[in-house]
Amino acid sequence: MKVLDVKSLVIPDIKVISYHHFADDRGFFTETFRESDLTKVIPNFQIKQVNESFSKKGVLRGLHFQWNPYMAKLIRAISGKIIDFFLDIRLGSPTFGKISGYELSSQPTAGKNEWILIPVGFAHGILILEDSTIEYLCTSEYSPGCEAGISPLSQDIDWSIADKNVKKKLEELKKSQLIISEKDKEGLTLKQWQKDERSKNFQY
């Protein structure tokens, strides 16, 4: 996995990691993960579980998070195109309650593909811009008794730092073919979560 670049997004804890994509007239080859290379840029990142999901265009999933054990995630698009959302839920954080997103595509740009790192303390979601398969590398195993979700439609989420293009694409899909599960739609509001004793698991 030849890491080409690591950049921080509007919330600096969120990182985008670019890695080399080799292509010629036969096709392509890319090494998507090598522990020794990744830990140089994300120290102590250990994979405990790998997930893969397929979603149709217009699907909105999230915003999910887990504690005991805490779970950080590396996400990439195997096929298709998505917007990856991250909401800061760390009590005391200067960006608490703020959300932004980053567009990920399976198609390489300038010979590189990308992972996005969602560390502990962020609720995570995805918006599917075209039929897509997503891979998640997780730092812990799924713990159903220690997970929660904030509805991505919650009116008290602060979108002020979100990229204008991200917000535009979300609004376009809202008007046409947004698909969201009842569980996600009826998730907590940000204020409900903030008043929940479990929110103290995430401190800045």
Q: What is the pLDDT of residues 50-86, one digit of tens each?
A: 999 999 999 999 999 999 999 999 999 999 999 999 9
Tell whether 182 is covered by a domain: yes
Paired sense of beta strands 73-88 and 3-8, if any: unpaired
Taking the C-alpha atoms of residue 202 and residue 45, their distance in angstroms, rounded to an integer, is 19
Tell whether 20 is covered by a domain: yes
Q: Is 136 a catalytic residue?
A: yes
Length of the chain: 204
CATH number, domain of 33, equals: 2.60.120.10
Q: Is 64 a catalytic residue?
A: yes
Range of the domain at 177: 3-196
Instruction: Report pLDDT for 176.
Output: 75
Q: What confidence tier does 109 reach under pLDDT thresholds 50, 70, 90?
A: confident
Taking the C-alpha atoms of residue 186 and residue 1, their distance in angstroms, rounded to an integer, is 40
Catalytic member of 64, 70, 102, 142: 64
Q: What is the pLDDT of residues 151-179, one digit of tens each?
A: 998 999 999 999 888 888 888 877 777 89
170: helix, coil or strand?
helix
Instruction: Report pLDDT for 60.
Output: 94
Does 68 carry a binding-site annotation?
no
Tell whether 204 is covered by a domain: no
Tell whether 202 is covered by a domain: no
Does 141 carry a binding-site annotation?
no
Taking the C-alpha atoms of residue 16 and residue 74, their distance in angstroms, rounded to an integer, is 9
